[in-house]
Amino acid sequence: MLIIPAIDIKDGKCVRLTRGDFSQQKIYLDNPLDMAIIWRKQNAKMLHIVDLDAALTGEMVNFDIVAKIVAELDIPVQIGGGIRSLEAVKRYLDMGVGRVVIGSAAVTDPALVGELMKHWPASKIVVGIDAENGVPKIKGWTESSDMQDYELALRMKDMGIERVVYTDISRDGMMQGFGYESTKRFAEKAGLKVTASGGVTNSEDLQRLASLRPYGVDSVIIGKAFYECNFPCQELWYNFEKGICLDKNYSTARRK
Protein backbone atom coordinates (compact mmCIF):
# COMPACT_ATOMS: atom_id res chain seq x y z
CA MET A 1 0.00 0.00 0.00
CA LEU A 2 1.63 3.21 -1.21
CA ILE A 3 1.13 6.03 1.31
CA ILE A 4 1.04 9.49 -0.28
CA PRO A 5 1.18 12.67 1.82
CA ALA A 6 -1.07 15.49 0.64
CA ILE A 7 -0.23 19.17 0.27
CA ASP A 8 -3.17 21.49 -0.33
CA ILE A 9 -2.24 25.01 -1.45
CA LYS A 10 -4.48 28.02 -0.84
CA ASP A 11 -3.31 31.62 -1.22
CA GLY A 12 0.24 30.30 -1.56
CA LYS A 13 0.16 28.54 1.82
CA CYS A 14 -0.02 24.92 2.94
CA VAL A 15 -3.50 24.39 4.42
CA ARG A 16 -6.01 21.70 5.31
CA LEU A 17 -9.77 21.97 4.99
CA THR A 18 -12.57 20.11 6.76
CA ARG A 19 -14.91 18.33 4.32
CA GLY A 20 -13.71 20.68 1.59
CA ASP A 21 -15.18 23.71 3.37
CA PHE A 22 -13.06 26.74 2.47
CA SER A 23 -14.34 28.55 5.56
CA GLN A 24 -12.83 25.81 7.75
CA GLN A 25 -9.21 26.25 6.83
CA LYS A 26 -6.11 25.70 8.95
CA ILE A 27 -2.72 26.96 7.82
CA TYR A 28 0.15 24.59 8.64
CA LEU A 29 3.07 26.28 6.90
CA ASP A 30 3.44 29.49 4.93
CA ASN A 31 5.70 27.80 2.36
CA PRO A 32 4.41 24.54 0.76
CA LEU A 33 7.95 23.78 -0.43
CA ASP A 34 9.07 23.45 3.19
CA MET A 35 6.25 20.96 3.76
CA ALA A 36 7.23 18.97 0.67
CA ILE A 37 10.80 18.71 1.92
CA ILE A 38 9.56 17.50 5.31
CA TRP A 39 7.51 14.70 3.77
CA ARG A 40 10.37 13.66 1.51
CA LYS A 41 12.80 13.51 4.41
CA GLN A 42 10.26 11.32 6.21
CA ASN A 43 10.63 8.91 3.26
CA ALA A 44 7.58 9.76 1.18
CA LYS A 45 7.74 8.02 -2.20
CA MET A 46 5.20 10.32 -3.85
CA LEU A 47 3.37 13.58 -3.12
CA HIS A 48 -0.20 14.59 -3.89
CA ILE A 49 -0.69 18.33 -4.39
CA VAL A 50 -4.01 20.15 -4.78
CA ASP A 51 -4.24 23.74 -5.99
CA LEU A 52 -7.36 24.78 -4.09
CA ASP A 53 -7.45 28.20 -5.70
CA ALA A 54 -7.45 26.59 -9.13
CA ALA A 55 -10.20 24.18 -8.07
CA LEU A 56 -12.47 27.19 -7.56
CA THR A 57 -11.36 29.39 -10.44
CA GLY A 58 -9.93 27.05 -13.07
CA GLU A 59 -6.81 29.23 -13.17
CA MET A 60 -3.38 27.72 -12.39
CA VAL A 61 -2.85 30.15 -9.52
CA ASN A 62 -0.11 28.24 -7.73
CA PHE A 63 1.75 26.91 -10.78
CA ASP A 64 5.09 28.48 -9.78
CA ILE A 65 4.93 26.96 -6.29
CA VAL A 66 4.26 23.51 -7.74
CA ALA A 67 7.17 24.01 -10.16
CA LYS A 68 9.53 24.72 -7.24
CA ILE A 69 8.41 21.57 -5.45
CA VAL A 70 8.85 19.40 -8.55
CA ALA A 71 12.33 20.86 -9.15
CA GLU A 72 13.41 20.32 -5.53
CA LEU A 73 12.19 16.76 -4.96
CA ASP A 74 13.42 13.49 -6.42
CA ILE A 75 10.07 11.68 -6.21
CA PRO A 76 6.94 11.79 -8.41
CA VAL A 77 4.44 14.57 -7.78
CA GLN A 78 0.74 14.17 -8.54
CA ILE A 79 -1.21 17.40 -9.06
CA GLY A 80 -4.93 18.15 -9.07
CA GLY A 81 -7.23 21.12 -8.76
CA GLY A 82 -8.78 23.10 -11.59
CA ILE A 83 -7.10 21.22 -14.44
CA ARG A 84 -9.66 21.67 -17.19
CA SER A 85 -7.80 21.90 -20.48
CA LEU A 86 -5.26 20.06 -22.60
CA GLU A 87 -2.97 23.09 -22.32
CA ALA A 88 -3.00 22.96 -18.51
CA VAL A 89 -2.17 19.24 -18.54
CA LYS A 90 0.67 19.85 -20.99
CA ARG A 91 2.14 22.64 -18.85
CA TYR A 92 2.20 20.42 -15.77
CA LEU A 93 3.61 17.35 -17.52
CA ASP A 94 6.23 19.41 -19.37
CA MET A 95 7.23 20.84 -15.99
CA GLY A 96 7.95 17.32 -14.73
CA VAL A 97 4.80 16.41 -12.80
CA GLY A 98 4.38 12.63 -12.62
CA ARG A 99 0.65 12.57 -13.24
CA VAL A 100 -2.30 14.96 -13.29
CA VAL A 101 -5.69 14.46 -11.70
CA ILE A 102 -8.74 15.49 -13.70
CA GLY A 103 -11.67 16.27 -11.41
CA SER A 104 -14.55 18.55 -12.40
CA ALA A 105 -13.72 18.33 -16.11
CA ALA A 106 -14.42 14.59 -16.09
CA VAL A 107 -18.05 15.54 -15.41
CA THR A 108 -18.42 18.84 -17.24
CA ASP A 109 -16.21 18.06 -20.26
CA PRO A 110 -15.73 14.28 -20.60
CA ALA A 111 -14.51 14.74 -24.18
CA LEU A 112 -11.40 16.34 -22.69
CA VAL A 113 -10.48 13.05 -21.03
CA GLY A 114 -10.79 11.26 -24.37
CA GLU A 115 -8.54 13.85 -25.96
CA LEU A 116 -5.96 13.55 -23.18
CA MET A 117 -5.81 9.79 -23.64
CA LYS A 118 -4.80 10.35 -27.27
CA HIS A 119 -1.77 12.37 -26.20
CA TRP A 120 -0.52 10.66 -23.02
CA PRO A 121 -0.48 7.15 -21.52
CA ALA A 122 -2.91 6.18 -18.76
CA SER A 123 -0.06 6.33 -16.25
CA LYS A 124 -0.03 10.13 -16.65
CA ILE A 125 -3.77 10.86 -16.46
CA VAL A 126 -5.86 10.08 -13.37
CA VAL A 127 -9.47 10.98 -12.67
CA GLY A 128 -10.42 12.30 -9.25
CA ILE A 129 -13.90 11.40 -8.03
CA ASP A 130 -14.91 13.23 -4.87
CA ALA A 131 -18.26 11.86 -3.74
CA GLU A 132 -20.81 12.60 -1.05
CA ASN A 133 -23.33 9.81 -0.46
CA GLY A 134 -22.21 8.29 -3.75
CA VAL A 135 -22.73 11.46 -5.81
CA PRO A 136 -19.65 13.18 -7.33
CA LYS A 137 -19.14 16.82 -6.37
CA ILE A 138 -17.39 19.29 -8.67
CA LYS A 139 -15.95 22.83 -8.80
CA GLY A 140 -14.30 22.72 -5.41
CA TRP A 141 -17.11 20.52 -4.07
CA THR A 142 -19.63 23.33 -4.52
CA GLU A 143 -21.88 21.55 -7.07
CA SER A 144 -23.28 18.01 -7.50
CA SER A 145 -23.22 15.93 -10.68
CA ASP A 146 -26.21 14.02 -12.10
CA MET A 147 -24.74 10.52 -11.81
CA GLN A 148 -23.39 8.05 -9.29
CA ASP A 149 -19.68 7.84 -8.53
CA TYR A 150 -19.25 4.38 -10.05
CA GLU A 151 -21.15 5.43 -13.20
CA LEU A 152 -18.65 8.23 -13.73
CA ALA A 153 -15.80 5.78 -13.14
CA LEU A 154 -17.15 3.36 -15.73
CA ARG A 155 -17.44 6.15 -18.30
CA MET A 156 -13.85 7.11 -17.67
CA LYS A 157 -12.79 3.46 -17.86
CA ASP A 158 -14.33 3.23 -21.33
CA MET A 159 -12.13 6.17 -22.35
CA GLY A 160 -8.96 4.42 -21.22
CA ILE A 161 -8.57 5.68 -17.65
CA GLU A 162 -6.97 3.07 -15.41
CA ARG A 163 -6.78 4.84 -12.03
CA VAL A 164 -9.14 6.91 -9.92
CA VAL A 165 -8.44 8.96 -6.81
CA TYR A 166 -11.59 8.35 -4.76
CA THR A 167 -12.55 10.65 -1.89
CA ASP A 168 -15.44 10.16 0.50
CA ILE A 169 -16.19 13.83 1.22
CA SER A 170 -18.16 13.06 4.36
CA ARG A 171 -14.95 11.75 5.93
CA ASP A 172 -12.39 14.17 4.54
CA GLY A 173 -10.59 16.14 7.22
CA MET A 174 -12.89 14.88 9.97
CA MET A 175 -10.31 12.67 11.72
CA GLN A 176 -13.04 10.08 12.34
CA GLY A 177 -11.83 7.22 10.16
CA PHE A 178 -12.08 6.66 6.42
CA GLY A 179 -15.19 5.55 4.52
CA TYR A 180 -14.49 1.82 4.39
CA GLU A 181 -17.88 0.75 3.05
CA SER A 182 -18.18 3.56 0.49
CA THR A 183 -14.65 2.94 -0.80
CA LYS A 184 -15.19 -0.81 -1.01
CA ARG A 185 -18.51 -0.36 -2.83
CA PHE A 186 -16.98 2.05 -5.31
CA ALA A 187 -13.90 -0.10 -5.98
CA GLU A 188 -15.99 -3.24 -6.51
CA LYS A 189 -18.24 -1.55 -9.06
CA ALA A 190 -15.56 0.49 -10.83
CA GLY A 191 -13.03 -2.28 -11.44
CA LEU A 192 -10.16 0.23 -11.61
CA LYS A 193 -6.99 0.92 -9.68
CA VAL A 194 -8.05 3.09 -6.76
CA THR A 195 -6.14 5.57 -4.65
CA ALA A 196 -8.24 6.12 -1.54
CA SER A 197 -8.48 9.55 0.01
CA GLY A 198 -10.24 11.17 2.92
CA GLY A 199 -10.52 10.29 6.57
CA VAL A 200 -7.56 8.01 7.28
CA THR A 201 -6.82 8.86 10.90
CA ASN A 202 -4.38 6.33 12.33
CA SER A 203 -2.47 3.10 11.73
CA GLU A 204 -5.59 1.03 12.43
CA ASP A 205 -7.31 2.74 9.50
CA LEU A 206 -4.35 1.86 7.31
CA GLN A 207 -4.53 -1.78 8.29
CA ARG A 208 -8.24 -1.87 7.48
CA LEU A 209 -7.67 -0.09 4.20
CA ALA A 210 -5.07 -2.71 3.24
CA SER A 211 -7.84 -5.32 3.26
CA LEU A 212 -9.31 -3.60 0.18
CA ARG A 213 -6.30 -4.40 -2.00
CA PRO A 214 -8.13 -7.32 -3.68
CA TYR A 215 -10.63 -4.74 -4.96
CA GLY A 216 -7.94 -2.59 -6.58
CA VAL A 217 -7.25 -0.17 -3.72
CA ASP A 218 -3.45 -0.04 -3.80
CA SER A 219 -2.60 3.40 -2.40
CA VAL A 220 -3.87 6.08 -0.05
CA ILE A 221 -3.54 9.85 0.26
CA ILE A 222 -3.23 11.10 3.83
CA GLY A 223 -3.58 14.72 4.83
CA LYS A 224 -4.68 16.02 8.21
CA ALA A 225 -3.70 12.88 10.13
CA PHE A 226 -0.08 13.46 9.10
CA TYR A 227 -0.23 17.16 9.90
CA GLU A 228 -1.64 16.39 13.34
CA CYS A 229 1.07 13.74 13.96
CA ASN A 230 -1.29 10.82 14.46
CA PHE A 231 1.23 8.09 13.68
CA PRO A 232 3.90 6.51 15.92
CA CYS A 233 7.15 8.51 16.15
CA GLN A 234 5.85 11.07 13.69
CA GLU A 235 5.76 14.00 16.10
CA LEU A 236 9.46 13.64 16.84
CA TRP A 237 10.34 13.48 13.14
CA TYR A 238 8.02 16.33 12.25
CA ASN A 239 9.34 18.75 14.84
CA PHE A 240 12.97 17.89 14.03
CA GLU A 241 12.57 18.20 10.27
CA LYS A 242 10.43 21.32 10.51
CA GLY A 243 13.24 23.05 12.33
CA ILE A 244 15.72 22.08 9.60
CA CYS A 245 13.44 23.07 6.72
CA LEU A 246 12.72 26.50 8.13
CA ASP A 247 16.44 27.24 8.41
CA LYS A 248 17.02 29.86 5.72
CA ASN A 249 20.23 28.13 4.63
CA TYR A 250 18.68 24.66 4.28
CA SER A 251 17.77 24.59 0.59
CA THR A 252 21.12 25.95 -0.50
CA ALA A 253 23.03 23.52 1.67
CA ARG A 254 20.95 20.59 0.41
CA ARG A 255 21.91 21.17 -3.20
CA LYS A 256 25.68 21.38 -2.57
| pLDDT computed for residue 249 by the predictor | 43
pLDDT of residue 17 exceeding 70, the answer is: yes
Pick 250 or 11 by higher pLDDT: 11
For residue 11, tell me if it sits in a domain. yes
Question: Per-residue pLDDT tens for 144-155?
Answer: 888 999 999 999
Q: Which residues contact 130 (CB under 8 A, 6 or more apart)?
A: 20, 103, 136, 137, 138, 141, 167, 169, 172
Q: Provide the phi-psi class of 54: left if phi over 0, else alpha when psi is between -120 and 50, else beta.
A: alpha
Q: What pLDDT sits at residue 243?
A: 56
Active site residue 8: yes
Query: 103 near 55, Cβ under 8 Å?
Result: yes
Q: What does the pLDDT read at residue 49?
A: 97
Q: What is the pLDDT at residue 238?
A: 59
CB atoms within 10 A of CB 44: 18
On whether residue 162 sits in a domain, the answer given is yes
Beta carbons of 143 and 157 less than 8 angstroms apart: no
CA atoms within 13 A of residue 38's CA, in its CB half-sphere: 28
86-138: pLDDT as tens digits: 999 999 999 999 999 999 899 999 999 999 999 999 999 999 999 988 999 88
Domain count, the chain: 1
> Rounded distance, CA 7 to CA 181, Å?
26
Rounded CA separation 44/36 (Å): 9
Residue 256 is assigned to a structural domain of this protein? no
Domain holding 201, by residue range, is 2-250
pLDDT band at 29 (very low <50, low <70, confident <90, very high): confident
pLDDT of 157 above 90: yes
Given the residues 34, 53, 130, 149, select the one marked as catalytic.
130
Q: Where residue 124 sits, what CATH number does that domain have?
A: 3.20.20.70
What is the DSSP code string of 50-69? EEHHHHHHSS-TTHHHHHHH
**130 catalytic residue (yes or no):** yes
Whether pLDDT at 255 is above 70:
no
The larger pLDDT score, comparing residue 161 to residue 176, is at 161
The whole-model pTM stands at 0.86
pLDDT at residue 150, as a whole number: 96
Say what the pLDDT of residue 32 is. 96
255, part of any domain: no
> Which of 253 and 69 is assigned the larger pLDDT?
69
The answer on pLDDT for 254 being more than 60 is no
pLDDT at 57: 85
Report, as an integer, the average pLDDT of 201-218.
91
pLDDT above 80 (res 51): yes
Identify the active-site residue in 8, 51, 53, 205: 8
CA distance 196 to 198: 7
Query: What is the residue-averaged pLDDT of the chain?
Result: 86
Provide, rounded to the nearest whole percent, the portion of the chain with pLDDT above 90: 59
pLDDT of 42 over the 80 cut: yes
Question: Residue 76: CA atoms inside 13 Å, Cβ hemisphere, count?
Answer: 12
Q: Where are the beta strands (DSSP E) in the chain?
A: 2-10, 13-18, 21-29, 47-51, 77-80, 99-102, 125-132, 135-138, 143-144, 163-168, 193-197, 217-222
What's the confidence (pLDDT) of residue 189? 97
Q: What is the mean pLDDT of residues 202-213?
A: 90
pLDDT at 138 (0 to 100): 82
The mean pLDDT value for 229-256 works out to: 53
